[in-house]
């Protein structure tokens, strides 16, 4: 392992990270707005391409995760597009959308604005040492437009180390049960996409959340082994 990462909390894959925090947040987290929360949590996923969450209490909906990724890739922020891809529109997106069915949290729409994704790929191709290969998701200038749908992610940054493309995702807020499971799927797919386009091997994924939480109704004592919750179903 790179010595720069020796002091970082490190997991082999996303499922390992989920298991750790699902077992830690309920006991070390604080009560916060209907959740148990831990603050300023950062960790490395060594194999981001291992995206499946394998936990006996959390049935990971791969079909939905892939549909969400394809929705992001389309750059269309209207929830009707997700409905076409998945077969239905999850209730959470209906609550977050405006009167026209548009959302701010379609990250693909965000990274296509001002051609951010294309610029990042070009920067990485031209200069492996660049510190400017970043995509901005949260825009403080548009905060008045974030009434029902404030993006949870601030930014995504890419760095090349030893010909491997590492990625860092910085989030203001991250729900472990739903958000992290689907977010890590889509962001790791983005990392893979950028790696391929820029011509690098896929490296590590660093995930940082200022507020990493579990809603009270998803805490372990509320989810016995016989309970199988299906995300975004």
pTM of the model: 0.92
| Rounded-to-10 torsion of CA 217, 215, 41, 121 | 110
Count of domains for the chain? 1
Chain mean pLDDT for the chain: 92
Distance, in Å, from the CA atom of 174 to the CA atom of 208, rounded to the nearest integer, reads 9
DSSP-derived secondary structure for 174-192: EEIIIIIHHHHHHHHHHHH
Each residue of 5-44: pLDDT tens digit?
Answer: 557 899 999 999 999 999 999 999 999 999 999 999 999 9
Q: Residue 98 belongs to what domain range?
A: 3-230
Each residue of 113-162: pLDDT tens digit?
Answer: 999 999 999 999 999 999 999 999 998 878 887 778 999 999 999 999 99
Domain with 220 in it: what CATH number? 3.30.572.10
DSSP H or E segment with residue 208 = strand 201-215
CB 206 within 8 A of CB 43: yes
Beta-bridge partner residues of 164: 161, 201
What pLDDT is stored for residue 229 in this prediction? 35
């Amino acid at each position: 392992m790179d010595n720069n990462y020796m002091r970082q909390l490190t997991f082999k894959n996303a499922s390992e990270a989920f298991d750790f925090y699902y077992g830690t947040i309920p006991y070390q987290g604080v009560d916060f707005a209907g959740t148990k929360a831990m603050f300023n949590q950062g960790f490395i996923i060594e194999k981001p391409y291992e995206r499946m969450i394998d936990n006996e209490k959390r049935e990971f909906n791969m079909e939905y995760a892939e549909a969400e990724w394809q929705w992001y890739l389309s750059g269309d922020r209207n929830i009707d597009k997700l409905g076409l891809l998945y077969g239905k529109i999850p209730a959470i997106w209906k609550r977050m959308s405006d009167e026209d069915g548009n959302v701010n949290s379609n990250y693909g729409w965000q990274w296509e604005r001002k051609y951010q994704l294309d610029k990042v790929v070009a920067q990485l191709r031209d200069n492996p040492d660049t510190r400017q290969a970043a995509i901005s998701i949260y825009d403080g200038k548009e905060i008045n437009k974030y009434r029902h749908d404030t993006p949870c992610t601030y930014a995504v940054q890419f760095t090349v180390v030893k010909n491997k493309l590492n990625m860092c995702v910085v989030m203001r807020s991250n729900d472990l049960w739903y958000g992290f499971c689907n977010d890590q799927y889509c962001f790791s797919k983005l990392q893979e996409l950028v790696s391929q386009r820029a011509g690098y091997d896929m490296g590590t994924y660093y995930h940082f959340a200022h507020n990493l939480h579990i809603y009270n109704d998803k805490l372990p004592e509320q989810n016995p082994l016989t309970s199988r919750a299906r995300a975004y179903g």
